Structure 1
Amino acid sequence: MKKVHLINHTHWDREWYFSTMDSLVLSDEVFLDVLQELKNHPEAKFVLDGQISIVKEFLSIRPEWKGDIQELVNRGQLFLGPWYTQSDAQLVGGISILRNLMVGIYEAQKISSVLYVGYLPDTFGFNSQMPTIYNHCGIDSAIFWRGIDYTKIKSPYFQWKGLGSSKVYAVNLIDGYGSIPQLFTDDDFLKNKIFAQEQKLRAKTDLEEILIPIGNDQNTISHDFTKKLKEINKKSESEYISSTLDDFINYLREQKDSLEIYEGEFRTPTTGRVHKTIGSVRMDLKLLNEKTEEKIVRRIEPLMVLAQQIGVSVSKELLIAAWEKVMEGQAHDGMAGCVTDSVAQDIRHRYKQANEICDGIENRIKNQIAKRLGLSEDEVLLFNVTGKELKQSQIIRIFSKYDSISIPEASQIEVLECIKHPARKNIMVEGKNRNYFVDEPAYYEYEVELKTEMPKFGYRVIHIQEGDSVRIKKSDIQKIQNDKYIIEVIDGKLHLQVGNKTIKDWLIFEDCGNDGDTYDFSPLRNDSPLYFSDVEVAKVCIGSMRQIMDVEMKMTLPEKLENRIKGSNLNVIKIQIRIVLREGDSDPEIQVQLNNTVESHRLRLGIKTDICTDHSIASTAFGFIKRPVLKEVPKNWESRYSEIPVDLEVMEENVSLTDNRNICTVYSKGVKEYQIVEDRIYLTLLATTGELGKADLLYRPGRASGDTTKKGHIPLSVPEAQLLGVYEYDFKVSYSESNFDAEQIIHASDTFHQQDIYYQLQHFNEFICRLDSKLLVNYPKDLKNKCDLLDLEGLDVFSIVPSLYDSDSFLIQIKNLTKQKKDVNLSRLKSTYKVSVVDANENVKELTNSIGPYELLTIKLTNR
C-alpha cells in the first residue's frame, strides 16, 4: 500500500524581522506547548528544526525541562540537532559549515542523542560539497527546499553526490517546509491541501512512499496527530502515518538502486527563491564574518593546540563559545542580511564578543609563553602555527626605546612605519608597598617587515637592538615593479604589464542604482551603470621587500535613488587603493578603502583579465566548481523562474578565468559575489538599500520576499543597510601562462591568508593586548627559546584544532581539492603521537594512507 510520511515540525528562525530575544520569549510558550503535547501523547513525534542552539536557549530559562527533553528524545518522540544553527551554505566558509555540525552534535550529545540528518529546510541554496561535509560528520542524508532545478533531476528523492565520492540520500521539499502549516481533517483541507500535495509529489516519483512536512515558521505542534490521521485514513487511498525523518531516509536507503544521482550545487530559483544577488547585502556583516572565521581557524585553534602541547591550559569551552557567537550570525537570514537593523546590531555585537574571546585566548597563551621564557621588552615572540615553512615575509608591530633598530635574527628587515610617542609626566606606578609617580620617557612604535627562519608549528624568539634601520623610501616615479609585474599610471589610468602583455585600464569601478531590498539587488528601471577609472593621486614607496603604490580615485554619484535618472544631488565617494608588489614574482595585492556617502546603489570593482571564455572556475567549500558565463538572460524567464537567473555567482576564496593557455585568478578576503562580463571579473563591494522587503522588482517580479506582504505585516525600513561609512577590502590578482592548477591556487590562497602572529611582553603600551595589564600570574621559566612541534609539509591541512572530546588530543584536518587520489604520509606523526583516522565527530574509522578526490580526512593525534 502507498504511504505518506507526515513530519510534525517547526521551523524556528532565531532572528529575522524579530530578534533572538523575541524568539526566546516565544519559545517559552511554543516549546512548552510542544513538550506537553508529546508527554500527553507518547505516540506523537516532533522535529525541533535541526538546530540545538534554540534548545540551549530554552533550557537557559526552563532548566527544569531538561530531564523531560532527554526522556522524549530517548523515546524517539523529539529530535534534536545536528546543527548548532541552521547555517547558510554558500556565504560562510566550508570550515564554518563543518564546525557548525561538529559543535551542534557535541552540544546535542550533552542533552541526549542526535538526529543524524542533514536538515536545512530554508537555506538559500547549497554549495556542491554539502554531501562531502555531511559524510565527514557521519550523515548520509540531506533534506532541503531551495535551489533545485527539475529539468536536471526528475524526482524529489535522489542521491546527491559531492565533487568526490561522497553521497547523501536527498529529499527536496518541493513547496517548502511550510506548505502545510497545520494538520486539519475537514474535506476542503483534505482536497485542496493534503491530498493535492500528495498528488503533486506522486506525479514526480514512482516511489510508493512520500514525505510531507506539517509545520511552518515559529509554529507549534499539530495537536491530536494520531486522531487526525485516523480521520484522514478513512478518506484516503494511501496510508498516512506519523513518521520521522530517519524513518523516511531508511526507506530511501532501501530504494537506493532506483534513485537518480545528481552532482552539483543548488542555486536555481525555480521551486523557491534562492536570492542569487544576496551575496552583497549588508557587506559589513559578511566582512566581519570572514575576518572572524579567519581569526579562529588560522590563529586561535592552532594556538590552542600549541598551548596544549607545552602545558598551557585554556578551556575548549571558550573556543566553543566563540564559535557559537559566530554561528548565531551565520544562520541563513542573518548571514544573508535580510534582517532588521536591530537584528543586524545584535549580530555585529556577537561578532564583537567572539573577537574579544579570541583576542583574550590569544593574549593569555602568548603572555604565558613569554613569561615562561623570561622575555624582556627587547625580545619578540614569532609564531608559525601552520606546520609548514612560511612562504613570505612577516609584518610585525613592535615597541622600543630606540630611535633606530635592528633585529640580528632577520635575514632581511625594513621599517615600514615609525611613530614617536612623546614622554609623559607624573605617571602612577602601583608599587609593592606604596604607589608613586614617575616621568615616562618617549618611545617608538615600529611596523617592521622581516624575513627569518621559522620552526614548523612552533615559535622562536628574536631580539630588538639599537641599529641602523633600513626604511622604505618614497619615490616620485608613478610605477612599481618586481620580477614579474610592472604597474604604473599612464595618462591617468592604471596599467599592468605581465611578461610581454600590457593590460590597459586594469582596474575600474562600476556603479548603478539598486532598486532592490535586503533579499535581492535589482537595477533601477531606465538607469545605466557609471564607470570610473581615472587616477586622481598616485604615491609610491620603494623598499627591498615590497613596493607600494597608493592611488586615489573619486566617483561623483547621485545621493539617493530618486536622483539617479536626473543625475541630481551629487555626492563624492573617495576610493583609496593600495597596490603592493612583494619582491620576486609575487602577485599584486590590492587593498581598497571607500567612504560610502550615497544610498541605494551597487558598487563593483572590475579587474581586467584579457581572457575571454565561456566559463569561470570558482572555489567552493572544499572544492572548485566550473560555471558557465551567461551570454544573455533566457527570454520569458518569468514563466519559469521566481527571480532572474542572472549569473551573479558565489565563490569561497577565489575565482579564475582560463582559456587553457592563460589564467587569471582573483583571490578575495570576504567579498564572495562575482560576475564575468567579457574579459573582466566584477566583484561586488556593496549593494545598499533601505528596505527589508519590496514588491515588483525588475529582477524579482511579484510579491516582496519575507512576510511583508502578508496580512498585518507592514513594510519595514532598514536605513542601516545603506551602509554609509568606511569599508575596506583585500584582494590579490595572479596572471600566468598556464592552465588551471588547483594545487597552485590552494597554496597561493593559503599564502594570501597567512596570519602574522607575534607577541612582545612590553610595558610601553599595555592596551595593544587588552589583558596584558591584568595577566599577573607568574610562571616558572621552563621553556626553550625555540619550539618546533609538528612537521606537516606535503599535507594539505586546512585546520589544526583541539579535540572536543579528549583533553590530551587534537585533530589535523586534511583536504584534497584535486581530481586525483593523494597519498597521506602519517609515518612521521606516529613516532610522537598515537594516530587515529576519525570523522569530524571523532568516531574512529579505518586507518588509511590516502585521501580521495575532493574528500576530507581528519587525523586524531593523542600524546603517547
Structure 2
Amino acid sequence: METKTTAHIISHSHWDREWYMPFEKHRYYLVKLIDTLIDLFEKGEDFQSFHLDGQTIILEDYLQIRPSKKDTLRKLILAGKLHIGPWYVLQDAFLTSSEANVRNLLYGLQDAKEYGAVSKLGYFPDTFGIYGQAPQLLQQAGIQTATFGRGVKPTGFNNMVSDAKTFESPYSELTWKSPDGSEVLGILFANWYSNGNEVPVDRDQAKKYWETKLSDAKRYSSTPHLLFMNGCDHQPVQTDMSEAIQVARELFPDVTFIHSNFDDYIETLTQSLPEKLQTITGELRNQRTDGWSTLVNTASARIYLKQMNQECQTLLEKVAEPLAVFSHVVGYEYPRDYLRYAWKMLMENHPHDSICGCSVDEVHREMVTRFEKVNQTASMIVEEKAKEIATLIKTNQLGADVIPMVVFNTTGNTRSVVVEREIEFEKIYFSEMPFSEIPDALRMKEIPALVVVDKDGMELDSSIDELGVAFHYDLPDDGFRRPYYAKKLRVSFVANELPGFGYKTFYLKQQAPKIQHQISNDHFMENQYVHIHIHENGSYSLTDKSTGKVYENLGIYENSGDIGNEYMFRKPDGEVPLTTQNQKAQINMIENNAVRSIIEVVHEWEIPKEADEQFELEKEKLVWHKDRTSGRSTEVVTLRITTHIQLDQKAKGPKVKATIENNAKDHRLRVLFPTDFTTTEHHADSVFEVVTRPNTPEREWENPSFDHHQQAFVSLSDGTNGLTVANKGLHEYEILNENQAIAVTILRASSELGDWGLFPTPEAQCLGTHVAEWMVIPHQGTVVESEAYKEAYDFQVPVITVQTGVHEGSLPADHSFFSWDGKAVAFSSMKLAEERDDVMVRWFNTSNQEQALTATLKNGTSAYKSTIIETTAEPMQTHVNTEIKPYEIVTIGWKVEE
C-alpha cells in the first residue's frame, strides 16, 4: 500500500444560485468568476482545472449574459479544464419528488452531453440530508462515487466538524448502500468543502496552514490521498494557485501536492482503499448527532413554497406527462420541448436554499413567479391533451340531448372519486346576439331537472347547482377569438371504478333525479368505510368500520413559540405548547348531499403575538439558536382557523382543509393525530421508498424536537391497525411520545435566515391567509401491507374532467391505455423518452420482498427493461411479466406502433 501522502487540491466554488442575495445579484458574481476562469485558461497559466459545482444550470445562467462564450466553454470542457454535471441544479433531496430527483440527473447529463464531457460524480456538497435510494439512482446512471458534506458525521455551527462518541464511519471514505443493495463509494467532506480554501503563498503562513490542514485531513482519511477543496460558497477563483502549490511543495517535500480534479483523485483513491470500509445503509440525516444542526426544519420554512412545488410536480409528472402519452399513442404530437421547459423552470426553484425556504425574501418572491409560470404551462398541456383525446371518443350512444363529460384518471390505480366540474349548460356567442342582451337572455332560461349517467344510462349519485352567467371565449386553431356568455352549472358526482391510465365518459342528461341522501348531521358523518364524530372542541373521533378501531381526539391543533430561524425550529425553554383541547369551536354543516358531506369547524384562538423583546437582541448578537433563551410575548392576537372536514361517498377517510388567518409571529402550528399504538417505529414516504424510521432518536440526540421529512404521507401501525396521514406539500412531521401521536406542521413563522450573519426575513413570518390540506386514512396492518399508500399517493393527484360534444369517435366511451398489476409496487411516472418516442414507465417496490410486476401497453410493440436515464436493452415480450427485487426502482420502455 502507498505510504507517501498526496494532497489533491480541487479548485471549485459552491454556487448557491440564490440565497443571501437574489439570483441576479449572485449571477453578477458568477459571470465574473467564469470570466476570470476563461482568462486564466486562455493565458496558458499553470492552472489545471476547475470543478463547476456539479450543476449545468451554471452554464445556462452564464451564457444568458455571455452567449458568445459557448464555444469557448465547450473547448475548455472537452480539454478537461472545466468539469461540469451531472446534475442540472444542486437541489434539496428530501423536498423534491422522486421524479424531480431523476429529471435533475437526466437533464444535467443531457446538457453535459452537448458539451462533450461530464463529471460522473454524485455531487451533494451542501445537501440538507440525502435520501436512502441515492446509491441506486447513481448506479443506474453509471455513477460509482458520491461526495457529500452532511448526513454521517456531525457538522456544527459555521460548518465545523465536531466529534461525537460514536461515528457511523471512522473515515471520510465509506460504502454507501441503498435498501435494494446498490452500492457506491461515499466520500464525506469531513472538514467541509472549503478545507483547502485560500491557500497561502506567503511561506510562513503556508507552513502554519498546511501543518493544520494536513493533520485535519489525515484524521479522517483511510488512505494517503487527502482531499482539499479549494473554494467555498460563491468563492472567487484563487488565481495564484500554481504559485501556492509550488510553495507547499518546497515546504513539505514528503508530500505530493497536485492541482487535481475529482476524476483523477477518485481513480488514485480507489487503488489505495482498505479492503473493507464501513457500510452505511439508507438515509443520511445526521441522526447520530446532537440534533441541533440537521436543518430538517427547512421542511416547514415558508410552507407555501412547498405546496406550490407539490402542485407543480404533480401536474407535470402525474397528469401532464401521462395525458401527453395517451394523446401521442392516438396520433397527436408529444410536447417534449414544453415539458422540458416546464421541468427546467421548476427545477430553478429546487436548489437547497430555494425550495428549503431559507433565503432572503426577494429570492422567494421570484420563486412564486416561477411556480406560477410552471403551473400555467403544465395546465395548458393538460387541457390540450385531454381535449385532443376527448374529440376521438364516441359520445353519441345516448343521443344528441346530453352533455358528455370525460373524466381522466392518470394515477395508474383504479379510483372511485367525487368529481366536481363547472359545466357550460348553454352558451351564446357575441356573433349570435348583441352582447349586452346575452346575459339577461341566458338568465331567463330555466334549468330543467338534470342527472348524471354513465355510458349505459345508469344514473349516478350527483349534486347540481346553478352558478349564474359568466363570460368566456374560444380560441380556434383556424380563426379569430370567439367571445361568448354561458349559463354555468357546478356538477358533482361519484365516478366509480375509474380505470388506471384511462378514462370514463359520463353524461349530463335531462331527467328527474331519484331521492338521494347522505348519512350526516352537524356533528357526525359516515360512509361505508368510516364513521366520524365531531367534538365541541373541533377534534373528531374516527371509527374504522372494517376493524372497529376508534381513533379519538384527532385534529387537535398545537401552537409553540419559535425562536429559531428558517433553518431550525427552536421552542423556547420550558414552554408548554398551547392546544385547542379546551377550546370551544363553532361547528356547522355546510354541505350534505348524495356525493359528500362537509362540516366546518372554526377556532378563534388567542395566542402570543410574537417572541419577547430579548429575541431581537439575541438575533442582533448572532446568538446560535441552540443557546437562545427568549420566550413569547404576553400580548396576544387571534389566530383564526377554519377547518373543512370532508367525507366523500367512496373515500377511505376524511379529507381536511384548514384555512389559517395568521396574525402572529415567531411560532409553529401543528395538527395532532394520537394513535395510542405501542410501537417503536413508523413509516414515511420518501424518494422512491416507504422508509422505516425510529420513533425516538439515538442516544447522542439533545434537541427536544425530533422532526422528520416526508413526501406524500406518514404512517403508524401496531401491526393490527394503522393510521396514515397523507398531505399536499406538508413535509415536516414528528412522532410524539405522548399517545404516539403524529404531529404534522401546517405553518411555521420565522424572522431571519440564520446561518452566518443577520439577514431579516419578515415575509417568512407568513402573515395572512394560508391553506393546508391532508387526508386521514385508517387501515389494517401497515401502510404497505394494506396498500393504503396508494390512497395516500392518489390524494395528491386530481382527476381531469373535460366537457366535450356529442360526436362519433374511434375510441370507446370507457378506456384504459395501459394496464399493470403488482402488489406493494408503486407507480412513479409515465412519459416518452427524451431522445426517442418510446413510452417509459417507472415503478418502485415499497416492500422488502420480491414482487411480481405485469404490464401491457395497448399500442406497444415490444418492451425492454431500462434505467432512470432511459438506456435501451434487449426487447422483451409486449406483455411484461417480471420480478422486482426488494426496494428496486424499475423502468420499462415500450416501442409504440406508428
Normalising by structure 1, report the TM-score.
0.88
2:255 partner amino acid = S
Q: 2:713 aligns with which of 629, 646, 654?
A: 654
Partner of 1:833: 861
Q: Within 5 Å, which residues of 2 pair with 1:255-294?
A: 255=273, 257-268=275-286, 273-294=293-314
- The 2-side partners of 1:436 and 1:390 are apart by 37
- How far does the alpha carbon of each residue in 1:309-338 deviate from its partner, in whole angstroms, 9 at most, with x for none? 122224312111111121111100011111
Contact persistence 2:201–2:243 (CA under 8 A): no
Q: Say which is worse superposed, 192-201 or 205-214, in terms of deviation.
A: 192-201
Q: Can you list the C-alpha shifts for 1:480-537, whole angstroms capped at 9, x where unaligned?
A: 1233432113454533333544443222111121112212111234543111144522
Q: Offset of 1:200 from its aligned partner?
A: 1.7
Residue in 2 that maps onto 1:687: 748
In the TM superposition, what is the alpha-carbon distance from 1:444 to its structure 2 partner? 2.9
1: distance between equivalents of 2:480 and 2:47?
Answer: 72
Distance 1:477 1:64 in 2: 68
Of the three residues 83, 98, 103, the one matched with 2:102 is 98
**Deviation at residue 436 of structure 1 after TM alignment:** 11
1:399 is matched with 424
Q: Aligned in 2, Cα 1:196/1:419: closer, same or farther, shift over 3 Å?
A: farther
Q: Is the 8 A contact 2:40 2:47 kept in 1?
A: no
Instruction: Specify whether residues 736 and 436 from structure 1 end up closer, same or farther in structure 2 by C-alpha distance, changes over 3 A only.
Output: closer
Cα contact 1:387–1:793 (8 A) shared by 2: no
C-alpha distance 403-177 of structure 1, shift in aligned 2 (>3 A): farther
Alpha-carbon distance in structure 1 between the residues aligned to 2:674 and 2:386: 43
1:718 corresponds to: 761
> How much does 1:423 deviate?
8.1
> Which residue in 1 is equivalent to 2:773?
730
What are the superposed Cα offsets for residues 73-127 of structure 1, whole Å, 9 maximum, x if unpaired? 1111211111111010112222211111112112222233221211121111112
Q: 2:466 aligns with which of 400, 403, 419?
A: 419
Q: Is 1:555 aligned with 2:623?
A: no
1:799 maps to 2:829 = yes
Residue type of the partner of 1:834? S
- The 3-state SS of whatever aligns with 1:277 is helix
| Inter-partner Cα distance in structure 1 for 2:141 and 2:54 | 14
Encode CA deviations 1:252-271: one digit per residue, 9 max, x unaligned: 44437332211132222579
Q: Which moved more, 1:543-552 or 1:682-691?
A: 543-552
> Are residue 223 (structure 1) and residue 239 (structure 2) matched?
yes
- 1:748 and 2:814 aligned: no
Residues 596-632 of structure 1, C-alpha deviation per residue, up to 9 Å, x if partnerless? 1211111110111121433222222111333223379
Matching residue within 513, 538, 546 for 2:587: 538
CA distance in 2, matches of 1:259, 1:655: 33
SS of corresponding position for 2:643? strand
Distance 1:469 1:37, change over 3 A: farther
CA contact (8 A) 1:136 1:856 kept: no
Task: Give the Å deviation of 1:547.
Answer: 3.5
Contact between 1:91 and 1:279, CA under 8 Å: does it hold in 2? yes
Relative to 1, partners in 2 of residues 1:491 and 1:782: Cα closer, same or farther, differing over 3 Å? closer
Aligned to 2:35: 32
Indicate the residue corresponding to 2:159 in structure 1: none
1:173 has 2:189 as partner: yes
- State the Cα deviation string for residues 717-768 of structure 1 (Å, max 9, x = none): 21111111222222222334435635613323233234211212589xxxxx
**1: distance between equivalents of 2:526 and 2:475?**
50
CA distance in 2, matches of 1:70, 1:436: 49
Equivalent residue for 1:335, pick from 355, 359, 373? 355
Q: Distance in 1 between matches of 2:413 and 2:474?
A: 45
**What letter corresponds to residue 119 of structure 2 in structure 1?**
L
Cα offset for 1:443? 1.8
- 2:817 and 2:857 in contact (8 A); partners too: no
Distance (Å, rounded) in 2 between the aligned partners of 1:780 and 1:403: 26
Corresponding position of 2:408: 383
Q: C-alpha distance in 2, partners of 1:209/1:680?
A: 48
For residues 412 and 781 of structure 1, the distance between their equivalents in structure 2, rounded to whole angstroms, comes to: 23
- Indicate conservation of the 8 Å contact 1:314/1:361, yes or no: no
Q: Deviations over 1:534-574 (max 9, x none)?
A: 45222334444434332222211122223896864322222
Give the percent of matched residue pairs that are identical in Structure 1 and Structure 2.
Answer: 23
Q: What secondary structure sits across from 2:787 in the alignment?
A: helix
1:403, distance to aligned residue in structure 2 (A): 4.7
Does the CA contact (< 8 Å) of 1:28 and 1:58 recur in 2? yes
Residues 403, 444 of structure 1: 8 Å contact kept: no
Unaligned 5+ runs, structure 2: 154-165, 427-446, 614-629, 877-881
- How far apart in 2 are the matches of 1:114 and 1:94? 23
**Aligned match for 1:444, one of 462, 484, 488:** 488
Secondary structure (helix, strand or coil) at the match of 1:22 reads: helix
Deviations 1:120-155 (A, max 9, x none): 211111122221222232222211101213611111
Distance verdict in 2 for CA 1:132–1:495, change over 3 Å: same
The letter for the 1-side match of 2:542 is L
Distance 2:278 2:480 in 1: 80
- Paired amino acid for 1:573: L
Distance in 2, Cα, partners of 1:303 & 1:160: 37
CA contact 1:145–1:272 (8 Å) conserved in 2: no
Once residues 301 and 316 of structure 1 are traced to their aligned partners in structure 2, the CA distance between those partners, rounded to angstroms, is: 9
After superposition, the Cα gap between the structure-2 partners of 1:623 and 1:310, relative to the gap in structure 1 and judged at 3 Å, is same
AA partner of residue 868 (structure 2) = A
**1:351 CA drift (Å):** 0.3
* One-letter amino acid matched to 1:389: T
Of 631, 640, 647, the residue aligned with 1:574 is 640
Give the SS at the match of 2:127.
Answer: coil
Q: CA deviation at 1:780?
A: 12
Superposed displacement of residue 670, structure 1: 1.1
Aligned residue number for residue 161 of structure 2? none
Q: CA deviation at 1:681?
A: 0.9
CA contact (8 A) 2:588 2:601 kept: yes
- Contact 1:480/1:487 (8 A) holds in 2: yes
**How many equivalent residue pairs?**
818
Task: Indicate if the aligned counterparts of 1:380 and 1:462 stay in contact, CA closer than 8 A.
Answer: yes
**1:825 is paired with a residue of what secondary structure?**
strand
How far off its partner does 1:415 sit? 3.7
For residues 807-857 of structure 1, give each alpha carbon's deviation from its aligned partner in whole angstroms, at most 9, with x where no partner exists: x2221112111111223335x459832322222222235678332211211
* Equivalent AA in structure 2 for residue 90 of structure 1: F
> In 2, Cα distance between the equivalents of 1:516 and 1:122?
20
Return the offset for 1:49: 0.5
User: How far did 1:634 drift?
Assistant: 5.4
Aligned to 1:758: 801
CA deviations over 1:25-66 (Å, ceiling 9, x no partner): 222211111122123247611110100111112112212211
In the alignment, is the contact (CA less than 8 A) between 1:84 and 1:101 conserved in 2? yes
Alpha-carbon separation, structure 1, partners of 2:474 and 2:668:
52
Q: Distance in 1 between matches of 2:244 and 2:535?
A: 77
Change (3 A) 1:213 1:756: same
Query: How far 1:210 moved relative to its partner?
Result: 2.2
Which piece of structure 1 moves more, 216-225 or 121-130?
A: 216-225
1:180·1:193 contact (CA, 8 Å) conserved in 2? no
- Checking the alignment, whether the CA contact within 8 Å between 2:92 and 2:350 is kept in structure 1 is yes
CA contact (8 A) 1:146 1:271 kept: no
Alignment counterpart, residue 525 of structure 2, candidates 472, 475, 480: 480
Say if 1:456 and 1:381 are closer, same or farther in 2 by CA, change over 3 A.
same
**Larger displacement relative to structure 2 (501-510 or 237-246):** 501-510
Any stretches of 5+ residues in structure 1 without a counterpart?
Answer: 638-643, 694-704, 709-714, 764-778
How far is the alpha carbon of 1:580 from its aligned partner?
Answer: 2.8
Cα 1:597–1:129, aligned 2, differ >3 Å: closer, same or farther?
same
For 1:436 and 1:173, locate their aligned partners in 2 and report how far apart those are by CA, in whole Å. 62
> In structure 1, how many angstroms separate the alpha carbons of the residues matched to 2:782 and 2:521?
38
For residues 12 and 450 of structure 1, do their structure 2 counterparts lie closer, same or farther at Cα, with a shift above 3 Å needed? same
Is 1:129 paired with 2:128? no
| CA 422–662 in structure 1, closer or farther in 2 if over 3 Å, else same | closer
Distance in 2 between the 1:122 and 1:200 partners?
Answer: 20
| SS of residue matched to 1:83 | coil
* Aligned twin of 2:661: 595
Helix, strand or coil at the partner of 1:516:
coil
Does the Cα contact within 8 Å between 2:454 and 2:460 map onto a contact in 1?
Answer: no
